[in-house]
Structure 1
Amino acid sequence: MNRSSKMKARRRRTLFFAVVIIAVLIVGFLVTKYEDTTAQAPEGTVAPPKATDAAAPAETDKPGEAGKPSNGSGGERAVIAQPESIAVLVNKQNMLPDDYKPSDLVYPDVPFLFKDKIDKRKMRSEAAGALEEMFDGAKADGIRLAGVSAYRSHTTQKSLFDGYVKKDGLEKAMTYSAYPGTSEHETGLAIDVSGSDGKCAATDCFAGTPEAEWLAGHAAEYGFIIRYPQGQESITGYKYEPWHLRYVGKEIASDIASRGITLEEYFDAVPVNN
């Protein structure tokens, strides 16, 4: 073989080895890319939420419990999962949904201290029927009752509460008025009651009147309780209100009255002021 032929053969071998090396490099790159792809999460899986993601409030079947948003004053309130329950526990720890409005509000056929047919004369149907029976029972015993205020919308309660805060400050207002969403009046199951003459209506002097004494002794027979009993402020969060009645049904009302307890204690709930 002459010198020219040897040089050509050498160039062909060099080119061959170069092609082989390039091919190996390409194959290695493709294998690495494939492995990276298969290491990713399979389609259809969900990545874990970020630390800043907020979970939706959980709901429970209990009348007064669900998720717990901040109440804006350092504590928490549970948003009630079943606001339509007759036995619903509404207090400073358990609030109604902002958009809740009872679907069965009616005008009970009982006297009120005013003539207008407005919202605060309404109650839920079952409670209204029981109220009519109670007023009839009181009348038969020589006691004449009158309604002062029943249902309030969330908007009305907010307006009232804001006014009380402006007048007396937040701390004092919280002892006698409910933060919007935590008022029993928003349930349509509560009513403030007085004598038919309107004296001492929704004020401390109502305590000890014949009307207050009759209600304390007979309200439970019709499914109502004195919601904020005397001496139970540390449990209910409110001062004594002998005029504030709450409908819970005869069975629960009878049990609460016979045991001398509050609605919080009936449900074994944590005292409001703890």
Structure 2
Amino acid sequence: MLVNKHHPLNPLDYQPPDLVTPNVPAGPGELVLLRREAAAAVERMFAAAGSNGVSITVQSSYRSYATQVSLYGSYVAQKGQESADTSSARPGYSEHQTGLALDIGDANVGADCEFTICVEETAAGRWVAAHAADYGFVVRYPPGLQAVTGYLYEPWHLRYVGTAAALDMRARGIPTYEQYLGLQGAPGYK
């Protein structure tokens, strides 16, 4: 399931049928919901990271259409639509709404490093960059590829694509899901 600025969910207010709460650490007040397969994979991934001394937390996971309406609207109000479109998906175009995406943090780093580029320098950020594919996840918005993904670099945003696809992407050096699927980039909304 590809969701980007050219491929919205259908229907726009889509809700996954199999959302579950994985047994993983979460940020304050965060209810973690993922699709069943992604939830099982994230439990395995967090356990493996923990055995390496890395404490990953979920800062955000599934978001409903209504939640995305509110979140996107707040970004537009703060910084205008053009700027908001580089860091937040419009309702119906969000990977979080699929139940296959999550934003991670490092439990040993302060809140100042949540949802910022410094995540890549944390133990959690380095660990997922090296190992997420082993569990079916990719860092969905890599650096320097905004013209393809439509979003600025987000080392904290992971997308479950399945182990076979994630490992194939890593082995072949394909950095984005669009490129892996052989599709054109989606830098802006159609």
TM-score, normalising length from structure 2?
Answer: 0.93
Counterpart in the other structure of 2:3: 90
Q: Is 1:196 matched up with 2:107?
A: yes
Q: Is 1:128 matched up with 2:32?
A: no
* Structure 2 stretches lacking a partner, 5+ long: none
Counterpart in the other structure of 1:225: 138
Task: Select the residue among 80, 96, 102 that pairs with 1:185.
Answer: 96
* Structure 1: distance between partners of 2:37 and 2:29: 22
Counterpart in the other structure of 2:182: 268
* Structure 2: distance between partners of 1:248 and 1:198: 27
Give yes or no for contact 1:104–1:125 (8 Å, CA) kept in 2. yes
Q: CA deviation at 1:115?
A: 5.0
Counterpart in the other structure of 1:149: 60
TM-score, normalising length from structure 1?
Answer: 0.65
Higher relative contact order (CA 8 A, sep 6+): 2
* Structure 2: distance between partners of 1:113 and 1:171: 29
Q: CA deviation at 1:260?
A: 2.5
Q: CA offsets, 1:99-146, max 9 Å, x none?
A: 310010000000101256x3xx10000000000000000011111111
Letter in 1 for 2:83: K
Q: CA deviation at 1:93?
A: 0.5
Q: Is 1:209 matched up with 2:136?
A: no
How many correspondences in the alignment?
A: 184
* Structure 1: distance between partners of 2:51 and 2:21: 22
* Structure 1: distance between partners of 2:126 and 2:99: 24
Task: Select the residue among 7, 17, 21 that pairs with 1:103.
Answer: 17
Larger Rg: 1
Q: Is 1:113 matched up with 2:113?
A: no
Q: Is 1:164 matched up with 2:164?
A: no
* Structure 2: distance between partners of 1:202 and 1:257: 24
Q: How does 1:232-247 map to 2 (within 5 A)?
A: 232-247=145-160
Letter in 1 for 2:82: E
* Structure 2: distance between partners of 1:197 and 1:236: 30
Letter in 1 for 2:115: A
* Structure 2: distance between partners of 1:114 and 1:209: 19
SS in structure 2 at match of 1:175: coil
4+ aligned runs moved over 4 Å, structure 1 = none
Identity of aligned residues (%): 48
